[in-house]
Amino acid sequence: ENRQTRWMACVNKGKFTHISTRADVQENVQKYITVLSRPLVINKAKHKVWSAVYLDYVTEQSDIRVPASRPTIFIWTMRWSMHM
């Protein structure tokens, strides 16, 4: 069974990894991200860059005071409610 799966991954320019324990899952998923990004690189596609939330942007634009506890959830809620 592994032989056929490896062949399929190779033919599709993919990657085959055998995960034996739950501890290996996170490490292998992080390595697989490079495989998922290959089409973007091959096609020279422009893609969005995700970054952290900027507190300054929200407070300057809307003059809202962000609570010291859990600011990320507050900002996400504010932006989500503006789009609805």
Per-residue tens of pLDDT for the chain, all 84 residues: 688 888 888 888 777 888 888 888 888 888 777 777 766 666 666 666 666 555 555 544 455 555 555 555 545 555 555 544
| Pair 31, 62 in one domain | no
Q: What confidence score (pLDDT) does residue 59 get?
A: 47
Q: What confidence score (pLDDT) does residue 83 get?
A: 46
Task: Put residue 48 in one of left, alpha, beta given phi > 0 → left and psi -120 to 50 → alpha.
Answer: beta
| Pair 37, 7 in one domain | yes
List the alpha helices (DSSP H) in 1-84.
Answer: 2-11, 23-36, 38-42, 55-62, 71-83
| Pair 57, 27 in one domain | no
Instruction: Please say whether the beta carbons of 40 and 47 come within 8 A.
Output: yes
- The verdict on pTM exceeding 0.85 is no
25: containing domain? 2-42
| Pair 58, 38 in one domain | no
How far is Cα 80 from Cα 84, in angstroms, rounded to an integer?
A: 7
| Pair 7, 38 in one domain | yes
| Pair 32, 11 in one domain | yes
How far is Cα 24 from Cα 52, in angstroms, rounded to an integer?
A: 27
| Pair 81, 60 in one domain | yes
Domain count, the chain: 2
